[in-house]
Chain A
Amino acid sequence: MFVSIFLFYGMVNAQQTVTGTVNDETGPLPGATVAIKGTSTGTTTDFDGNYTLNNVPEDAILVFSFIGYESQEIGLNGRSTIDVNLAADASELEEVVLIGYGQTTVKDATGSVSSVTSEDFNRGVISSPEQLIQGKSAGVQISQGSGEPGSGVAIRIRGTSSVRSNNNPLFVVDGVPLPSGGTASEGTNIGVGSSAARNPLSFLNPNDIESISILKDASATAIYGSRGANGVVIITTKSGRSGGSEGVFEFSTEVSFSSPAEEYDLLNRDQFLEAVDAFGGIALDEGSNTNWQDLVTRNTVSYNSNLAYARNYGSGNLRATFNYGNQEGIVEKSSQERITGRINVNQRLFEDKLRLTLQSTLSRVNDEAPPLSGSAGSTGDVLGAAYSANPTWPSDPDFNPGDRINPLNLLQNWQSLTETDRFLINFSADYDIVANLNAKVTFGYDLAESTREASLSANSFNVARGAGGNGRGALNDVTNENRLFELTLNYEKEFDNSRLEALAGFSYQDFNTRGRNVEGWGYGNTGLDQMASDLASSVRTLESMISGSYQQYGYSFDVADNDNGLFVNRLFPSVETDFLGETDIPVRALFTDTFDNTDELQSFFTRLNYTIADKYLFTATLRADGSSRFGSDNQYGFFPSAAFAWKINEEDFSGDLFSTLKLRLSYGITGNQDGLGYGRFVRRERYSGSGVNDGGSINIPGITTVDFANPGLKWEETSQYTVGLDYGFFNDRLNGSIDFYRKETTDLLLNIEAAQPSPQPFFFENLDAIVLNQGVEFDINYAILESDDLNWDAGFNIAYNKNEIQDFEGSIAAGTIRGAGLTNAFAQRLEEGQPLYSFYLREFVGFDENGNPVHEGGTDNQKFVGKSALPDITAGLSTSLRYNNWDASLYFNGQFGNYIYNNTANAYFTAGAIGSGNNVIQDVVSLAGVESRFAEASVSTRFLEKGDFVRLQTASIGYTVPLGDSSFLKSLRFTAIGQNLFVITDYSGLDPEVSVVPGASDLLNGLPIAGIDYSSFPRPRTYSLGLNITF
């Protein structure tokens, strides 16, 4: 019946063939849709933007559309050729956002998704991609815990939902989900303590990034199933599409000047001597006046340059880039050098039915780390030593102050260099099997190889682990290799008044981590490069003596009391310890442990989108993830979600007030298995960890059980509800959104204390407890002025999040505090009814008549003080102004309601510190007569401070040089950017946005740390000048 009516309709109308070309501002636009309005008849443009449409009724109206462009409707009016220029869609809400395994527009999105494109990225010195979007989206808290080049970044989307280490979202680069861990080793503690791994995203050149999508609610992230609980960040690199047919070169270069934004107001020689006297002490005067802080920090110049070539040749496009950057840190001996190359190629074949995409990048990152640590002991690291060093000491690296670190001595005798090579390639083929059905296959390969060499020479004074006098060094090799295979099928069908999109997919990914940790002790040389090469050559010599597989080997002049020489611990083919005798190597003792394990993830997923009348949008997703990290009982987890959106402004009753009014409802379950590690569900045996003792001996490890059989281990789950509203007024000149959410994380995977007796102190269990995050997010954007030569717009976002742990029967100490007299001290506790990272402290009342601190309820009465390191409110404000060829922008971010434990002050800035002959800040001097120089300084509310701040993160000004048509250059632009220009805060430390990050093995009870400031790497203030040319 329907068919015959259609045929009849066709017969009574005269029909013809229409051809034409669709262009955008840069040239032909391939892939645009040309459809006859009111029918499902249509076609798409070819590589050259041409189209041909047969059997078009004479009175038809053609609809030209393309994602990211404003649609046009043109009546045929008897013409047979219609050429169209599509304009890019100015309205932000038409913006394309990438969602998992596909894309949509902001207008049609059912989930909470925000997208930031390259023109909105943060600017200045950017060492890794997440900094590009800091503060750009409500509810996304991004903080770099220190000012060190290449340091890790904490990203929290809608609060902190896991009690374990990793709360960062899943990163997906061009469709390849990255492994969650770092690519470089944390490194062995060779005498100064451990520090967290480097930022694993440093390998991406921020200049290559086209857009970053942030998926926040469960309906958006559930398509990533077990890895979606912390949100998903999808990074898309630039293609050559805008390159034009002749090709465009783009060159940009930037020079940056950095200096410490803040310094401690330390006492100089005379002030120090007076202060010691004021406290009744007797100063040790070594006769000099040394500003140690100045000696370990510096002003630096950094460079970054990019050369890119892009070409769009019709049937495809390519883009190639080369980047070189060298960022110097403001603490001596810190830098990051990055060299990256990228090639992205898109090719369409067979009348556009097959689309091939290749995206690949090769990078080398060289990190130089100063002797800083998140877990420095009583003598501190180079910064702690510089803050506390007696200013009368001579500025001489050979001066030995007895029991403390001479900062110059430590700097001179320390070296830590890490080289990380990473290769990430992604190839996909996308084929239209039939008109509405499309299949895509993707292969991804990611290889990261990292080597870290650290040396602390025998000339160092008063460091830990027997390094002084002997020399100690480490060599840490890590290779991360992961492979991805993905197949997706997409089906689209238009019905009368509705539209269906269906996606089904399969994904397999494996993650191999392998490498070795080598520790050397007792060097014949003190040259730092020579030490590194001595260790490497010792390793080569010893490994050449060993045949067959092994887990460990070690060499000592004093192995197990008196057996000299090399021992090898083997697992395969059978457990065996072999003694291979003595040899000649340039270190006196050496120990090596190796690791090699692989995790697999296999997934099936589907998504249905159904739209009725372009008003009611439904989305449902389901993902089943199978993981080799779980035993057969719970190997697969199922992660469903559903969402509904209602475009109220499309309803007749809504009137003209709103240009956008969309209500969104969503619910979904996502999972998390990060931080669990390999093989925790099965009884396994391995040789114990060991190392070279302070005196150079090695306890030869034996094999031991490292895990129980624990087949019941299962996925951690987060269920999330979201109610959101997108709004727009005045044709979306004013727009934004508001979201309310509630996230409940259950079956918390936590490494809890085992019920003893047990082979290990901790084992993983699914805790019967809940981490609750609930909050509201609000975004508003306003184009205040819009004209041809003057534009001014502003955006503001703010989010409130409340975090609480519920139904938890235990109480776990966390938040290690470091420093002299602070061993075993901690400042936080995990307990029900409290937010994560709640401070658990003595309540400081004042000082007694003897100048000792008084705490409520006695010296050692620790309790919850009702304050947490988590902020209640995070906010960002950005504004930009363009006037003719000039443009300027400002970006502020802020954080409120959080508290910081000032461990730096606790460890270094008390009367007791000056009583021990250490330098302090000016503030301490005023305590003379109040606090005794022999007073203890326990962990208390005395050192807990408000962390509220507002920071002018970036201010930029740019000038685009007007060029004549005849110019060789296509564009020329200059920019000047200031970063971290000021911070408004009451926090007395150097910077309120801090978190000390020790190595994973130094975390108390394996719980992560937030809001503790312990001689963190100071944050720089940076000014950059940039030049950008295209030709």
Chain B
Amino acid sequence: MVMRFIKYIKCIALSMCIIPLLFSCTDLEIEETDSILKESADGSGFPGLSDPESSLGDLYNKVGGDFQTQENMFALSEVTTDSYVVPTRGTDWGDNGVWRQLHTHTWSASHLFIKNSWNGLNQNIFRATEIIESNGSAQTEAEAKFLRAFNMFFVMDLFGSVPFRGVDEGPEIDPMVFTRSEAFNFIETDLIEAMPDLPDGSPGVANTGTATKASASFLLAKIYLNAHIYKGNESPDNADLQRVVDMVNSIEAKGFAIQEGYFDIFEPTDDSETIWHLSAEVGPRIWNTLHYNQNSPDNTGGGWNGFSTLAEFYDMFEGDPNSNYVGDGQEERRGWVPDPSNANDENLGIGYGFLINQQYDSDGTALETRQGQPLVFPKEIPSLVGNTEVEGARLIKYHPFDPTDTGDTESPLINSFRRHQVLFRYADAHLMRAEAMMRMGNDATEMVNVLRRLRTDTPDLSGVTEQDLLDERGRELYIEFWRRNDLVRFGQYTEPWSLKEVTGDDTKMLFPIPATALLSNPNLTQNPGY
């Protein structure tokens, strides 16, 4: 008996010695359980993505997210201009000064949105490079090249120099840096190389959600139109301007055209103007400007009462300067504010374009502020801080939308968080071509008037100056991400406007390289003035 126990103990003792040997063989390698481990055969280099098509889909999502938010890219492109300001209202929208600093051009290299935009755009570039360097289909590679060019365009435009990292370069490598003109060439090459393998592109929601020849041509037109800025030249080169014309012509040849019904273009329905749209929610574009008490059935909490436009921007439009109800003689693009006679369940009492003066709900009842005062938006904003809830005309291009499109004003099915943000639009291409022609010495008046005739209540211009063209672009393309780019090209980005002191400081034409980026990559040099 005792012997048996001793034997048993010996067994335990033996297994005690063996078990650790078994365990100690563990090589501490992780296993593929919820992710794919990617190592190239020789342990170096880039092994290629497992599924470039799937990664491309993810990149579209990522770009959509980056251009959906009211912060970052949207704020840098619009809140730094005369089209948008986010005044601090009581305590609301103080937000640590991020909005004030953008509007007054007093940002620093640690501004959150500048940093986030840099990180977001460059991350998209790297992801696109990964897709390009993997063995996906020719079209996948071409779409990735387009997306890389699109993101790099903004890095070049906002920051000047552009860092670049090869796919096989790990975090131990400091990315190389393209100068602005090198980046220009890189973008141009990407787009030209992508062109043959991209689908043609034609109008319609189903055809404009991904990169096409038309969208690549549009982006080429953009870079050619701004080429002298990127190349550091005083004035545009006629060859580049001719390329703008050619590119727009090629887009036109695919069936894109300016069309009637200005605000319909921003609904998720077919139109002939949309060249590229993102599957990104338009909720922020609707609610960031509306007052708390302006709401829809799918957003009972109402707007966020932030973004407003400047009186001088509003005043660029045709019509009664102090009223924007239907019949005030305003041009179509200035939109309208519903009044008791035309507020209904479909428009929810929420207007289009510029919202000023008394606002109404869907019953036509005059809305009140949170203090029970009439909800009246005056167009003047006296100061950046110390405002009440109401100052400033509101600016809205997307509108809560009824996807059933039955015109049922009794019980519409409103969706204000739909995913359809228009990024490239033919009216822009049309005006780019007009501008290129003008800069080449032609008269752009008729080209501008062609567009104006489609937008109602816009009398023909008798002649078009540079200023007229800039203003026309402002009236047509407000809050579509282009105002900053346009002001820079027309040399007016450093001009004074309301709530921004005169600076005339040309270093503001570029944003600073974010402080964190400078630290992490010694190859970068800070832009002058920062």
A interface residues with partner B (beta carbon < 8 Å): 281-284, 350, 354, 378-379, 400, 402-403, 429, 431, 433, 439, 441, 461-463, 466, 468-470, 485, 487, 506, 508, 514, 551, 560-561, 571-572, 574-577, 594-600, 602, 626-628, 635, 678-679, 682-688, 690, 693-697, 699-706, 708-710, 712, 752-761, 763, 765, 809-813, 817, 819-826, 850-852, 859-860, 910, 912-913, 915-917, 932-939
Cβ distance B334 to chain A, nearest Cβ, rounded Å? 27
Q: Which residues on B sit within 8 Å (CB–CB) of A819?
A: 91
CA distance in complex: A468, B123 (Å): 34
Q: Is B89 an interface residue (CB 8 A)?
A: yes
B122 adjacent to chain A (CB < 8 Å):
yes
Interface contact A935-B34, CB-CB below 8 Å:
no
Please report which residues of chain B, range 19-34, place their CB below 8 angstroms from some CB of chain A when the two chains form the complex.
19-20, 23-24, 26, 28-34
- Contact status B55-A756, CB under 8 Å: no
Contact A635 B372, beta carbon cutoff 8 Å: no
| B119 near A597: Cβ-Cβ < 8 Å | no
CA–CA, A754 and B297, complex, Å: 42
Q: Is the CB of B28 within 8 A of A431?
A: no
Q: Is B41 an interface residue (CB 8 A)?
A: no
User: Which A residue's beta carbon lies closest to that of B418?
Assistant: A695
Interface stretch among B92-100, B194-202, B448-456?
A: B92-100
Across the interface, B96 reaches (CB within 8 A) one of A429, A682, A710, A824, namely A824
Contact B281 A693 (CB under 8 A): yes
Known: A810-B516, A910-B91, A936-B88. Contact between A561 and B39, CB under 8 A?
Answer: no
Q: Is the CB of B92 within 8 A of A820?
A: yes
Given the interface pairs A755-B520, A757-B122, A757-B164, the reply to whether A602 lies near B54 with Cβ below 8 Å is: no
Chain B residues, Cβ within 8 Å of A685: 35-36, 38, 49-50
Task: State how many angstroms separate the Cβ of A920 from the closest Cβ of chain B.
Answer: 11
B112 contacts which chain A residues (CB < 8 A)? 813, 824
- The smallest beta-carbon distance between B452 and chain A, in angstroms, is 33
Q: How far is the CB of B323 from chain A (nearest CB, A)?
A: 25
Say yes or no: A859-B100 contact (C-beta < 8 A), given A468-B300, A820-B91: yes
When chains A and B are docked, how far (Å) is the Cα of A506 from the Cα of B35?
Answer: 30
Q: How far is the CA of A595 from the CA of B34 in the complex (A)?
A: 6
Q: Write the chain B residue with the least CB distance to A577.
A: B54
Within 8 Å of chain A (Cβ to Cβ): is B233?
no
Whether A572 contacts B32 by the Cβ 8 Å rule is: yes
Nearest-Cβ distance from residue A1001 to partner chain B, whole angstroms: 15
**Smallest beta-carbon distance B387→chain A, Å:** 6
In this complex, what residue of A is CB-closest to B28?
A628
Q: Are B301 and A463 in contact (CB under 8 A)?
A: yes
Q: Is the interface of A mostly helix, strand, loop or mixed?
A: loop
Interface pair B516/A282, CB less than 8 Å apart: no
A-B contact pairs, 8 of them (CB 8 A): A403-B292, A433-B13, A597-B35, A756-B125, A756-B517, A813-B112, A860-B97, A910-B91
A686 and B34 contacting across the interface, CB-CB below 8 Å: yes
Given contacts A825-B95, A937-B91, contact A765 B171 (CB under 8 A): yes
Q: By the criterion CB–CB under 8 Å, are B23 and A508 in contact?
A: yes
What is the number of residues of chain B that contact chain A, defined by CB distance less than 8 Å? 107
Q: How far is A811 from B108 in the complex, measured between Cα atoms in Å? A: 14
A755 touches B90 (CB 8 A): no
Tell whether A756 pairs with B371 under 8 Å between CB atoms, given A441-B16, A702-B58: no
Instruction: Say whether A706 contacts B35, CB under 8 Å.
Output: yes
Cβ distance B276 to chain A, nearest Cβ, rounded Å? 15
Residues B402-435 near A (CB distance < 8 A): 415-419
- In the complex, whether B510 has a CB less than 8 A from a CB of chain A is no
What residues of chain B lie closer than 8 Å to A468, measured between beta carbons?
300-301
- Once the chains bind, are B119 and A759 in contact (CB under 8 Å)? no
Asked whether A684 and B417 contact (CB < 8 A) given A759-B123, A860-B97, the answer is: no
Select from chain B the residue with minimum beta-carbon distance to A810: B519
Q: In the complex the two chains form, is B174's CB within 8 Å of A755's CB?
A: yes
Interface residue ranges of B279-325 to A (CB < 8 Å): 279, 281, 283, 292-293, 297-302, 304
Find the A residue at minimum CB distance from B108.
Answer: A860
Partner of A754, one of B110, B171, B387: B171
For residue B213, CB closer than 8 A to chain A, the reply is: no
Q: Are B13 and A282 closer than 8 Å at their CB atoms?
A: no
Residues of B within 8 A of A429 (CB): 12, 16
Known: A462-B302, A755-B175. 4 other contacts (CB 8 A): A596-B33, A679-B30, A695-B418, A932-B386
CB interface residues, B 128-173, toward A, < 8 Å: 129-130, 163-165, 170-172
Known: A688-B61, A705-B130, A825-B95. A756 touches B90 (CB 8 A): no
Which residues on B are within 8 Å of A, measured CB to CB?
A: 5, 9, 12-13, 16, 19-20, 23-24, 26, 28-39, 47, 49-51, 53-59, 61-62, 64-65, 71, 88-98, 100-101, 106, 110, 112, 115, 118-120, 122-123, 125-127, 129-130, 163-165, 170-172, 174-175, 205, 209, 279, 281, 283, 292-293, 297-302, 304, 370-373, 385-389, 415-419, 515-517, 519-521
Distance in Å: Cβ of B471 to nearest Cβ of chain A: 32
Given contacts A757-B175, A822-B94, A934-B387, contact A628 B54 (CB under 8 A): no
Asked whether, in the complex, the Cβ of B29 is within 8 Å of the Cβ of A282, the reply is: no
Q: How far is the CA of A602 from the CA of B5 in the complex (A)?
A: 32
Partner of B35, one of A571, A761, A850, A912: A571
What's the least CB distance linking B439 to chain A, in Å? 33
In the complex, are the beta carbons of B170 and A709 less than 8 A apart? yes
Residue ID in chain B nearest A764 by CB atoms: B171
Contact status A822-B96, CB under 8 Å: yes
CB distance from B304 to the nearest CB of A (A): 8
In the complex, the answer to whether A506 meets B126 with C-beta atoms within 8 Å is: no
A694 and chain B: residue at smallest CB distance: B417
Q: Which of A283, A378, A461, A756 contacts B163 (CB 8 A)?
A: A756
Who on chain A is nearest to B64 by CB? A699
Q: Could you tell me if B36 and A686 are in contact, using CB atoms closer than 8 angstroms?
A: yes
* Beta-carbon contact of B26 and A508 below 8 Å: yes
> What is the CB-to-nearest-CB distance from A776 to chain B, in angstroms, rounded to a whole number?
35
Distance of A752 Cα from B519 Cα, bound (Å): 11
* Closest A residue to B65 using CB positions: A699
Instruction: Specify the chain B residue showing the minimal Cβ separation from A635.
Output: B28
Complex Cα distance A901/B102, Å? 27
Contacting pair B123 A597 (CB below 8 A): no
Residues of chain B with a CB closer than 8 A to A572's CB: 32
Whether B61 and A682, one on each chain, are in contact in the complex, defined by CB atoms closer than 8 angstroms, is no
User: How far is A240 from B94 in the complex, measured between Cα atoms in Å?
Assistant: 62
Provided the pairs A508-B23, A702-B55, A704-B55 are in contact, do residues A679 and B35 lie with their beta carbons within 8 angstroms?
Answer: yes
Q: Which residues of A contact B519 (CB under 8 A)?
A: 809-810
Among B65, B95, B127, point to the contact of A705 (Cβ < 8 A): B127
Q: Contact check, B520 vs A683: say whether CB atoms are below 8 A apart.
A: no
Are A693 and B98 neighbours in the complex by a CB distance under 8 Å? no
* Alpha-carbon distance between A627 and B26 when the two chains are bound, in angstroms: 10
Q: Would you list the 6 A-B pairs with minimal beta carbon distance, nearest first?
A: A695-B417, A702-B58, A756-B122, A757-B126, A403-B292, A860-B97
Query: Least Cβ distance of B302 to chain A in Å?
Result: 5
Residues of A within 8 A of B371 (CB): 281-284, 917
**With known contacts A461-B300, A685-B49, A596–B34 Cβ distance under 8 A:** yes
The answer to whether B163 and A757 touch across the interface, beta carbons within 8 angstroms, is yes
Chain A residues within an 8 Å CB radius of B302: 402-403, 462
Residue of B20, B71, B118, B385 touching A852 (CB-CB under 8 A): B385
Asked if A575 and B51 sit within 8 Å, CB to CB, the answer is: yes
Select from chain B the residue with minimum beta-carbon distance to A678.
B30
- Across the interface, A694 reaches (CB within 8 A) one of B53, B57, B71, B281, namely B281
Decide if A755 touches B56 in the complex (CB within 8 Å). no
Contact (Cβ within 8 A) B54 A703: yes
Q: Is the Cβ of B300 less than 8 Å from the Cβ of A506?
A: no
Name the CB-closest residue of A to B96: A825
Check if A695 sits within 8 Å of B415, measured CB to CB.
Answer: yes
The distance from the CB of A441 to the nearest CB of chain B, in whole angstroms, is 5
Chain A residues closer than 8 Å to B56, beta-carbon distance: 702
Contacts of A600 in B (CB 8 A): 26, 28, 30
Q: Known A402-B293, A602-B28; judge A701-B91 contact (CB<8 A).
A: no
* Beta-carbon contact of B24 and A431 below 8 Å: no
Residues on A with beta carbons closer than 8 Å to the beta carbon of B417: 466, 693-697
